[in-house]
Amino acid sequence: MRKLVALLVFLFFAISACARTDADLKTDAVNATLGGVADLRYAAMDDFFSNDSHEYVIISLDQTPAFLLRLEAGNGTYNATLVRDNATIQSIIEERYDRLLAPNLTLADAQARIAQDLDEFNRSRFFYEAKYDLFFGLDNGTCQNRSDCEQTCNQSTVCRYARDQNGAGIIDDMMAYVQNVQDIDAQIGQAQGLGTGARNMSELENLDAYAQTVGILQNLTQQMAASRIQNEDSLLYSGPIRYNTTPFADAQSAVEDARGPLIARANARSGWESIQRATGQLAPEPPQIRTDANASQAAQVKNDTQGAAAAGNGPDLNATAPNENSTAQKIVVVEQPVYQRDFFSLENIAVVTAAVVLIVLAIEGALLIRRRLKEGQHL
């Protein structure tokens, strides 16, 4: 019995190793349809269902969408049909990108959320900066240059004492602090301007500017934390400056949520246009049956096409899509039959395994009966 179990396990894994997956069968169908059109060894395949419950696949060449095919399952295999109608291509690709999007924000929603986040950060500055402004003598104003900062420092007993003890380096630390605070103020003002007066920007440019501003603010807060006045050995040290930087992550998230649909719309348009161009150039409609009067003209077009292909003049996916009435030379696609039912498809594994089991059981049963008969004869 152990031999039987071992044999069954071996047969199951042997058959499974040879089995073709559903993805393999879809790839076979695509290759059967497009194998004579383009080199698909490095093509990317995006498989999805549309709202009308039909299955489609987008084939990308060099990371550029090139073909849209409709897949139909039946008889243990798939049939891939090239979609040629421009309106259908646009509709299916738009639907695909719409379905890829998670819940998003509008630009106005993102601006409101970012403004709230930056306001929360800004409120956290007051306590920390007020202490150091007092020590530097900046509580009644600021300083613009070294001379101004020296005079301002003289107005503060703490700053004047620190300068007398540590020398002019205290003024350098003071000027670095002032510059850092001013830079933070400038970025907050920049963000506020993006929410109200950025009329010459596209929505995507506006969001990118927000992301850049938030990134700069993060760097400035890190610079403040690493400044010399934050060294505990400094005579001006009055505890760490702990800005609330948590809202920065939410602001960046708001930017990404709002960028999603904008990029998707741009990608969708680029996607359907590139598919329309590639389909028109690489896989145009097969030629109609021609009359004898047009036979010589058809032969001339075929010879011209073959000559262009032999010369290595490949299609340009970025060129303008050909007009339906265009007389430009076209590369004719020879449609190949799709693969027929595959013996090693997954749906046949159970049948094959069951048949093998029955055969093995029959052999084992026959051997058992034979042994019993021999034992009876000996008795």
Helix 169-196 to helix 146-154 angle (10° resolution) is 110
Q: What percent of the chain has pLDDT over 70?
A: 69
Q: Average pLDDT in the 83-101 region?
A: 78
Res 136 pLDDT > 50: yes
- Does residue 318 form part of some domain? no
Q: How far is CA 203 from CA 11, 32, 194, 230, 263, in A?
A: 61, 43, 10, 40, 10
Reference 92, options 107, 108, 70, 118; nearest CA is 70
pLDDT digits (tens, 9 = 90+) for 365-378: 777 777 777 766 55
Res 246 pLDDT > 60: yes
13 pLDDT band, cuts 50/70/90, is: low
pLDDT digits (tens, 9 = 90+) for 152-170: 999 999 999 999 988 888 9
Q: Average pLDDT in the 119-127 region?
A: 95
- Does residue 212 form part of some domain? yes
103 pLDDT band, cuts 50/70/90, is: low
User: Is the pTM for the entire model greater than 0.95?
Assistant: no
Per-range mean pLDDT, top range of 50-59, 202-211, 216-225, 304-313: 216-225
Residue 27 phi, psi dihedral angles, 5° rounding: -65, -40
- Does residue 38 form part of some domain? no
pLDDT digits (tens, 9 = 90+) for 297-352: 545 544 544 444 444 444 444 444 433 333 322 222 333 333 333 434 445 555 56
Residue 293 has a pLDDT of: 45
- Does residue 93 form part of some domain? no
Res 102 pLDDT > 70: no
- Does residue 293 form part of some domain? no
The contacts of residue 225 (CB under 8 Å, 6+ apart) are: 240, 241
Pair 163, 170: CB distance under 8 Å: yes
Pair 333, 69: CB distance under 8 Å: no
pLDDT digits (tens, 9 = 90+) for 21-79: 778 888 888 888 887 777 777 778 787 787 777 888 888 887 788 888 899 988 788 88
Query: Which residues make beta-bridge pairs with 65?
Result: 60
Res 180 pLDDT > 90: yes
Residue 10 has a pLDDT of: 58
| Single-letter residue type at 147 | S
- Does residue 314 form part of some domain? no
Residue 226 has a pLDDT of: 92
DSSP H helices in the chain: 2-18, 22-34, 86-100, 107-123, 125-136, 146-154, 157-166, 169-196, 203-225, 246-282, 295-310, 346-378
Average pLDDT, the chain: 75
Residue 181 has a pLDDT of: 95
Q: How many domains does the chain have?
A: 1
Q: For 156, what's the count of Cα atoms within 13 Å in the CB-facing half-sphere? A: 24
Distance separating alpha carbons of residues 27 and 57, to the nearest angstrom: 10
Distance separating alpha carbons of residues 110 and 195, to the nearest angstrom: 10
- Does residue 139 form part of some domain? yes
| Single-letter residue type at 374 | K
Phi-psi map region of 227: left, alpha, beta (phi>0 left; psi -120 to 50 alpha): beta
- Does residue 169 form part of some domain? yes
Query: Which residues make beta-bridge pairs with 64?
Result: 61
Residue 171 has a pLDDT of: 93
Query: For residue 164, what are the domain limits?
Result: 125-243
Pair 69, 60: CB distance under 8 Å: no
Residue predicted with more confidence, 229 or 339: 229
